[in-house]
Structure 1
Amino acid sequence: MTEPFLREERQGAVLVLTMDGPEDRNALSSARQCEEFVEACRRINTDQSVKVVILTGREPAFCSGGNIKHMRSLEGFMAGPVQEVAEGYRSSLQQLALSLYELQVPVIAAVNGPAIGAGLDIACMCDIRLASERARFSEAFVRLGLISGIGGAWFLPRAVGPSRAAELSFTARVFDAAQALEYGLVSEVVAPDQLMPRAHELAGEIARHSGMALRFCKRLLRKSDGLDLRASLDLTAALQAIAHQTPEHHAAVECFLAARERG
């Protein structure tokens, strides 16, 4: 039986997802890999006990993008006539993108090595990105005469701004973790042996809070990107009204007041 590509490890309210295909530097080569992402996201969205996800790759890479050998031999996502290739992208890689972006809980990308092409795009689908000093990035598609088939033209400008995204897409330049920090793509750069401890530390800081409040907060951050202020405020009012009635809110208020009374 084929080994799973996406490994799961649960630590309390934190779920670690690890892309595990080191022989291809965690390249995306098959519809099965995409299906594993879709199924994992579906399970997480229905499990209220999960508060944070950490996404990383098995050494030595985060994700090297598409499988170059398959591009040469026209296998996998590249097989068939134009119509079949287009439908193959819609039913596999693009379903991965939708599922990961629509994950209801905060997602931390722990970029431990190269994040190239689709690998960079996957990192951009996450809410927070931490990078090892060994991380390397590239929106490499035009170098191969391609464009991002997984949504990079939508995700990258939202991560680094339209001008920088255009520069990185048009040049296909490889840049390091320090440049990623300068561009605002990642929020921290740490030593390789500190990447996962730091990701868990941050995840723990997040997971201390109400799971429902975290899901509502993420929903607002994601939805408000495409809403005008009035629509965003209207959604806020609806979610806040629900939040005010939850046991988590009541318990948090009591805890806060008790701590203040103790001085």
Structure 2
Amino acid sequence: MSDLNFQVNEEGIATIKLNRPERLNAFSLEMIKDWIKALEEVRDSENIRVLVLTGEGRAFCAGGDIKSMLKGDGFLYQKEEEKEDFMSSGIDRKNVLWKYVQRIPLLMSEIDKPTIAAINGPATGAGLDMALMCDLRFASSTSKMGETYINLGIVPGDGGAYFLPRIIGIDKALELLWTGRILTAQEAKECGMITYLTEPDELLEKVYSFASQIANQPPVAIQLTKRAIYQGLNSDLRTSLDMMSSAMGLVTELPDYNERLEAMAKKV
């Protein structure tokens, strides 16, 4: 079986499912390569409107594979025939992060469609950070999550130090990164890390119901709104307003606008 499953349904909802349940969906080289390809398709396909990220089995993602790291295989689990000497020097370890794992946050930043993490179980280290890269996070009420890098004496090399403080604030992010403390789903919700909590058996139903609602909205308006939010975090008010006036000019040229305006007028 593949270490990652990717599919797109008739509504244009794409699903990336991490598929190493026996290792709590910890990364493998095959998984990372397939993940990169899937994200490129989500970014580029006009038929995809929403992305859902989840894990197979009882975990969302445990991040790096500890057993493979102990064997000296590097940050990614590898099959014997694929093994490379990733651990020979510091620059090699830096380059493997750049070549593989760090491609994921960069690609996520290029996707202007809604992205949703369905956290079905434990999400730790880089596994949690992969959820933080999504726009929204739905979590099972029984899930747990934590930034556990410090427990291995390492740093968050995949974007956790970038995403976490933007979501929960600098002080709380530092507290979690410095201590490696594991949060319950409720604690994660209270600090702003989680958007919605659900019962375990309702998680995917709730996620896909929400995804379906968004997938049936005007796609260009959805995408331009997402761009406005993220670009607005790094620009001044005048720049943001200028961007939105341009976006308004574009969307009012589209059939979605005219059709919805006429439908709304009939209700008035």
> TM-score per shorter chain, which class?
over 0.9
Q: How does 1:15-54 map to 2 (within 5 A)?
A: 15-30=14-29, 32-54=30-52
Instruction: Name the aligned partner's letter for residue 232 of structure 2.
Output: S
Once the two structures are superposed, residues 208-227 of structure 1 have per-residue CA deviations (whole angstroms, 9 ceiling, x without a partner) of: 21011111111111111111
Q: How does 1:169-188 map to 2 (within 5 A)?
A: 169-188=177-196
Name the CA shift for 1:56/1:182 in 2 (closer, same or farther; >3 Å).
same
SS in 2 for 1:252: helix
Gaps of 5+ in 1: none
Instruction: Name the aligned partner's letter for residue 22 of structure 2.
Output: E
SS in 1 for 2:9: strand
Dislocated runs of 4+, deviation >3 Å: none
Match of 2:201 in 1: 193
Instruction: Give the distance between the partners of 1:214 and 1:97, measured in 2 at CA.
Output: 20
**TM-score with structure 1 setting the length:** 0.93
Match of 1:209 in 2: 217
Q: How does 1:1-263 map to 2 (within 5 A)?
A: 3-30=2-29, 32-77=30-75, 79-260=87-268
RMSD in angstroms over aligned alpha carbons? 1.5
Mean CA deviation greater in 37-46 or 164-173: 37-46
The percentage of aligned residue pairs carrying the same residue is 31
**TM-score with structure 2 setting the length:** 0.92
Instruction: Tell me the CA shift for residue 163 of structure 1.
Output: 1.2
Whether the 8 Å CA contact 1:49–1:211 is kept in 2: the answer is: no
Instruction: Tell me the CA shift for residue 13 of structure 1.
Output: 2.5
When the two structures are aligned, how many residues end up with a matched partner?
258
Instruction: Give the distance between the partners of 1:67 and 1:127, measured in 2 at CA.
Output: 26
Whether the 8 Å CA contact 1:50–1:211 is kept in 2: the answer is: no
Gaps of 5+ in 2: 76-85
Instruction: Name the aligned partner's letter for residue 92 of structure 2.
Output: E
